[in-house]
Amino acid sequence: MELACAVTERARTFLVLVTLNKIGLALPQQPLRIWEGKLKAVTQSAAQMEASFKSLDPSERERVRDYVRAVADNQNTEEGATSSIKDSQKKKRRKG
């Protein structure tokens, strides 16, 4: 982990961040922001996703693609739950 954080941002590829996320390491704030930004980019654009995974073996690409989609879906679900909780709290404040 320390090695991945020590290298320049340019060398910290999306695949390195996927690997760190996959093994469950909690990322420090800066790599976490980079991870979230890159995750958002690859899930919004199929071309971006393919470009990020082109250095992988074809057999590994599908596994990484499935993992990234699952992480993105999970984040979207959590964000939706968080925003609906915030909306409920705002409505309660208005009523009270």
Predicted local distance difference test score (pLDDT) of residue 6: 58
Average the pLDDT over 54-74 and give the result: 86
For 72, the domain range is: 2-95
- The answer to pTM > 0.75 is no
pLDDT score for 89: 52
Number of domains in the chain: 1
The string of DSSP letters for 29-86 reads HHHHHHHHHHHHHHHH-HHHHHHHHTTS-HHHHHHHHHHHHHHHHHHHHHHHHHHHHH
What confidence score (pLDDT) does residue 64 get?
Answer: 87
Averaged pLDDT, 9-32:
77
